[in-house]
């Protein structure tokens, strides 16, 4: 296998399910049963004394509840055990300071999901190029969209297999998320060039070598306006506007404290479906773009950004001419910029680059963010007023006068910081924990 050995990786793959109305009802009932079981388990846990809060006691309570309540019996036994394991893990995370205490799940707030912990129960078969078949407990054989080669059939073994799955429902319907474990050849060092990347709103990803990545959908203009639905076409935007107006009219007739009507809830579901479609298109562009970058460049340098601090609204200032009043302080323009930053999802882009550069043998490096957009990449001076606008950089140094796109100038500065050693975080090519990268293992004779 060469000097690099092999790497064990664990990752997830999500696929869309093609269900009939009857199958949708069965899966909805299972998801509601799983949520109800969680709530019953939470009540039991709070009611019992601390000395009797054990996994064995909780398991016995779950088994008895499934016998007494037919509604809970629609949930497969292994899925019920998965609810117990997930609930106990939530408490462990709380005790170790990684999360807050688990609480009750609301019917309309909590996401609908059902776990299939055993991969051998799935019996996955590829039907043809576009579709596959999977077995779902108490539902039967169901088609799913085949968009990625999975280790099934003769390709599956102890090291390359599907270890389980989770059924998840969102605004676009039911999906299945497979948990995949594979053994792959460990990649050698990537021989590609170095590149600095600046995440912006005029150019989504500006590269130091000029190979900018743009999705062609304007997000924000210096006047402060923002296109909230830039990933929808004109007809979809018009439909979304009609639905929002309809929801506003229906909401006027709802009294305070009154439950949302079924008609209003149906309108909300249509709005969520359009929002989910826009998010899916944005993630598709991010996946394709980050894959291209990870395969092309050996070292990718980005800023370590405090996105939460960047999207804070400006504090209002008192109006000196009007007692008790406050100045707007550019709040409308800042709100548009904040929406544009949130829509670009810079953090998700960096997360994708992190595990994709690892799989390609490259490196991801983070450098300090201050003054990268205000420093001239040609002369190296930081002169006040050089950032002429959100899109244009004009160096005010009398001996320079360099003019360029502001995001491109920042990308050049980001790469320069890496080359002179100002590195904050460097992600190694192997040895990281987590879902996207596993530990390196020695090659065996069989491989």
* 63 Cβ contact partners less than 8 Å away, ≥ 6 residues apart: none
Range in 112-116, 293-297, 381-385 the model is least confident about: 381-385
Q: How far apart are CA 202 and CA 401, in angstroms?
A: 22
Mean pLDDT of the chain: 83
Q: How far apart are CA 248 and CA 42, in angstroms?
A: 36
Q: How far apart are CA 282 and CA 317, in angstroms?
A: 36
Give the domain 194-225+274-429 fold.
Nucleotidyltransferase; domain 5 (3.30.420)
DSSP 8-state code for residue 109 = T
Tokens 């309540």, located at residue? 69
Per-residue pLDDT reduced to its tens digit, 307-321: 777 677 666 666 666
Could you give phi then psi for residue 246, rounded to 5 degrees? -65, -40
Which pLDDT score is estimated for 94?
92
Tokens 């490196």, located at residue? 363
In Å, how far are 357, 364, 369 from 352, measured between CA atoms? 8, 11, 20
Q: How far apart are CA 329 and CA 314, in angstroms?
A: 7
Domain boundaries, the chain: 6-185, 194-225+274-429
Tokens of 94: 């709380």
In the chain the first and final C-alpha atoms are separated, in Å, by 8
Selection from 293, 296, 279 nearest residue 345 by Cα = 279
Tokens 């670009």, located at residue? 344
Confidence of residue 431 (pLDDT cuts 50, 70, 90): very low
Per-residue pLDDT reduced to its tens digit, 197-239: 988 877 888 898 888 888 877 655 555 445 667 888 889 999 9
Report which of residues 226 and 21 the model is more confident about: 21
Q: How far apart are CA 128 and CA 121, in angstroms?
A: 21
Burial (CB < 10 A; 0-12, 13-18, 19+), residue 81, is middle
Q: How far apart are CA 154 and CA 305, in angstroms?
A: 46
Tokens of 19: 């269900």
Which pLDDT score is estimated for 55?
87
Asked if residues 124 and 147 have their Cβ atoms less than 8 Å apart, the reply is no
Range in 63-72, 218-227, 347-356 the model is least confident about: 218-227
CA atoms within 13 Å, Cβ hemisphere of 54: 5
Which pLDDT score is estimated for 26?
94
Q: What pTM, to 2 d.p., does this model score?
A: 0.80
Which pLDDT score is estimated for 218?
61
């Amino acid at each position: 296998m060469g000097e690099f050995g092999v790497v064990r990786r664990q990752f997830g793959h999500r696929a869309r399910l093609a269900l009939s109305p009857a199958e949708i009802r069965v899966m909805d009932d299972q998801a509601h049963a799983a949520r109800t079981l969680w709530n019953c388990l939470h009540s039991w846990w709070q009611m019992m004394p601390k000395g009797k809060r054990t996994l064995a006691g909780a398991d016995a309570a779950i088994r008895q509840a499934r016998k007494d309540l037919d509604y809970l019996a629609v949930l497969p036994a292994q899925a019920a055990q998965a609810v117990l394991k997930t609930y106990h893990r939530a408490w462990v995370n709380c005790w170790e300071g990684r999360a807050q205490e688990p609480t009750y799940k609301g019917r309309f707030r909590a996401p609908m999901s059902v776990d299939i912990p055993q991969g051998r129960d799935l019996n996955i078969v590829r039907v043809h190029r576009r579709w596959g078949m999977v077995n779902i407990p108490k539902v039967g054989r169901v088609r799913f969209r085949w968009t990625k080669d999975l280790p099934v059939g003769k390709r599956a073994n102890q090291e390359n297999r599907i270890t389980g799955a989770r059924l998840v429902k969102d605004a676009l319907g039911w999906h299945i998320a497979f948990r995949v474990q594979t053994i792959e050849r460990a990649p050698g060092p990537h021989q590609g060039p170095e590149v600095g990347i600046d995440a912006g709103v005029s150019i989504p990803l500006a590269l130091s070598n000029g190979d900018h990545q743009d999705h062609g959908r304007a997000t924000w203009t210096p006047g402060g306006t923002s296109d909230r639905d830039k990933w929808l076409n004109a007809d979809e935007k018009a439909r979304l506007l009609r639905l929002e107006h309809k929801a506003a009219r229906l909401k006027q007739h709802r009294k305070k404290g009154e439950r949302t009507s079924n008609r209003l809830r149906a309108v909300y579901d249509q709005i969520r479906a359009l929002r989910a479609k826009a998010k899916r298109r944005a993630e598709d562009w991010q996946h394709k773009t980050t894959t291209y970058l990870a395969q092309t460049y050996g070292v990718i340098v980005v800023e370590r950004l405090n996105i939460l601090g960047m999207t804070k609204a400006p504090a209002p200032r008192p109006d000196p001419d009007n007692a008790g009043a406050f100045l707007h302080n550019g709040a409308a323009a800042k709100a548009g910029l904040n929406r544009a930053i949130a829509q670009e999802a810079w953090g998700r882009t960096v997360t994708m680059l992190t595990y994709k550069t690892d799989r390609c043998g490259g490196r991801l490096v983070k450098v300090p963010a201050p003054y990268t957009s205000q420093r001239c990449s040609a002369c190296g001076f930081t002169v006040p007023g050089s950032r002429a606008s959100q899109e244009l950089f004009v160096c005010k140094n009398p001996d320079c006068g360099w003019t360029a796109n502001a995001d491109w100038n920042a990308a050049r500065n980001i790469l320069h910081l890496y080359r002179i050693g100002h590195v904050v975080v460097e992600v190694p090519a192997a040895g990281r924990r987590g879902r996207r990268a596993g530990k390196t293992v020695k090659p065996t004779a069989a491989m």
